[in-house]
């Protein structure tokens, strides 16, 4: 029986993880849940799964009278951003699924690995910002990728030697604006941006998918997870989203991982590894797929991908700056404070203003993150 903590249980990945728990109650017990502000959904989850502890990272929720019910159920409640690290270290937990959004997830990932638990990682920003600190902490099989692309690569590498890998191919749907010109992107609305053609995700990651920043973050993540340099990691646009990623070997062979476009599959594998549990979704029907197509990404139009790879190559604190500027710009776009193309413009400016440092500590990364957010907000304020 695995004792599981889910960070970000009220979000898209967290809710799908709980669906997996419902189907595998003989294998998983939920001992901890966390939310930011969604008290009502957290209460519903707590009633069903009866965890030992819940955390609410927004301390403004502390006086919410609805939370008294948790005490009546015998569930301990802790508040604030530091509570995420505390629940990640929960002594009775075996595994932590980190489904938090943004750089805040880094600190919980660090606490999980440091305490020797399995980390099922859906928070890609953890490795983008702090991969230099996290990877030395992770033993074999301790850090399991939840992203469909990295989960696919992980599975393709089973039984293989990384020294035999010639290239990792990260597939990309292309998002809702795949064929747009830069001029057309200037008029992209928030509503259109959030209409992803194949995946149903949270708002922030859906915007990142439309700008191709999501794929850029995944390139950096793949570099840390699999130990390949950036010359051997490529992105290919695959609109059908049937092939989740591929590994090319030096003898010319290519392994591809195919599956339904449902995040429950990679979430479940990250929890069940090295076992495989019954599929939580209907299997692919290859007679109905039709054609599979591939094309190169247009990095001149979708500049975020190129900026991310550039930041990854520079290394050190540059990816932390990239991520912080992107988080601020995406939030501004979602709230109508900037245009779609302002996102990559302010990221480029933030990177250009930064002096690279070697990564040395969580505290250093926190300071770089905060400084970049302040700088990016000032840039956006001048654009309004």
Would you write out the chain's pLDDT as a tens digit for each of its 384 residues?
A: 999 999 999 999 999 999 999 999 999 999 999 999 999 999 999 999 999 999 999 999 998 999 999 999 999 999 998 999 999 999 999 999 999 999 999 999 999 999 999 999 999 999 999 999 999 999 988 999 999 999 999 999 999 999 999 999 999 999 899 989 999 999 999 999 988 776 667 889 999 999 999 999 999 999 999 999 999 999 999 999 999 999 999 999 999 999 988 999 999 999 999 999 998 888 888 888 889 999 999 999 999 999 999 999 999 999 999 999 999 999 999 999 999 999 999 999 999 999 999 999 999 999 999 999 999 999 999 865
Tell me, what's the pLDDT at 384? 53
- The angle subtended at Cα 373 by Cα 122 and Cα 171, nearest 5°, is 35
Tell me, what's the pLDDT at 196? 74
Choose among 59, 55, 49: nearest CA to 76: 55
Within 10 angstroms of residue 80's Cβ, the number of other Cβ atoms is 13
Tell me, what's the pLDDT at 284? 87
Give the span between the Cα atoms of 327 and 103, in whole angstroms.
Answer: 9
- Tell me if residue 94 falls in helix, strand or coil: coil
- The pair of three-digit structure tokens given for residue 345, joined into one six-digit string: 């413009």
- The pair of three-digit structure tokens given for residue 136, joined into one six-digit string: 């030395």
Give the span between the Cα atoms of 157 and 164, in whole angstroms.
Answer: 10
Cα 334 off chain centre by: 18
Tell me, what's the pLDDT at 81? 87
- Looking at residue 278, the DSSP 8-state letter turns out to be P
The side-by-side arrangement of strands in the sheet containing 233-237 is: 233-237, 165-172, 243-249, 254-258
| 44 in Cβ contact with 66 (< 8 Å) | no
The residue assigned the tokens 């912080």 is 324
Phi, psi of 56 (to 5 degrees): -125, 110
- The pair of three-digit structure tokens given for residue 124, joined into one six-digit string: 């890609």
Choose among 134, 132, 45, 44: nearest CA to 88: 134
Tell me, what's the pLDDT at 199? 65
Tell me, what's the pLDDT at 278? 92
């Amino acid at each position: 029986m695995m004792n599981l903590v889910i960070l970000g249980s009220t979000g898209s990945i967290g809710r799908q993880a709980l669906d997996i728990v419902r189907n595998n109650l003989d294998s998983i017990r939920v001992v901890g849940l966390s939310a930011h502000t969604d008290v009502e959904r957290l209460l519903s989850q707590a009633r069903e799964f009866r965890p030992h502890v819940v955390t609410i990272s927004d301390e403004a929720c502390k006086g919410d009278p609805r939370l008294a019910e948790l005490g009546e159920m015998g569930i301990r409640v802790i508040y604030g951003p530091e509570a995420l690290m505390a629940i990640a270290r929960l002594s009775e937990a075996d595994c932590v699924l980190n489904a938090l959004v943004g750089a805040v997830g880094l600190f919980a990932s660090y606490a999980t690995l440091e305490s020797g638990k399995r980390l099922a990682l859906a928070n890609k920003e953890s490795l983008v910002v702090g991969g230099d600190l996290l990877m030395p902490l992770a033993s074999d099989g301790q850090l399991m990728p939840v992203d469909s692309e990295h989960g696919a690569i992980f599975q393709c590498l089973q039984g293989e030697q990384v020294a035999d890998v010639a290239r990792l191919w990260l597939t990309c749907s292309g998002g809702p604006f795949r064929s747009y010109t830069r001029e057309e992107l200037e008029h992209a609305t928030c509503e259109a941006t959030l209409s992803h053609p194949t995946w149903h995700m949270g708002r922030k990651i859906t915007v990142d998918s439309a700008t191709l920043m999501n794929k850029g973050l995944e390139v950096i993540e793949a570099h840390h997870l699999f130990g390949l340099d950036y010359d051997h990691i490529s992105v290919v646009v695959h609109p059908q989203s049937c092939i989740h990623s591929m590994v090319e070997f030096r003898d010319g062979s290519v392994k591809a991982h195919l599956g339904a476009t449902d995040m429950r599959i990679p979430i479940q594998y990250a929890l069940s590894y090295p076992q495989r549990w019954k599929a939580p979704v209907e299997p692919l029907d290859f007679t109905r797929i039709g054609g599979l197509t591939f094309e190169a990404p247009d990095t001149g139009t979708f500049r975020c991908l190129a900026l991310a790879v550039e930041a990854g190559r520079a290394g050190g604190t540059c990816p932390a700056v990239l991520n912080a500027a992107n988080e601020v710009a995406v939030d501004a776009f979602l709230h109508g404070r900037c245009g779609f193309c302002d996102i990559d413009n302010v990221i480029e400016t933030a990177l250009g203003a930064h002096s690279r440092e070697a990564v040395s500590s969580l505290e250093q990364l926190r300071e770089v993150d905060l400084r970049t957010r302040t700088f990016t907000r000032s840039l956006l304020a001048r654009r309004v």
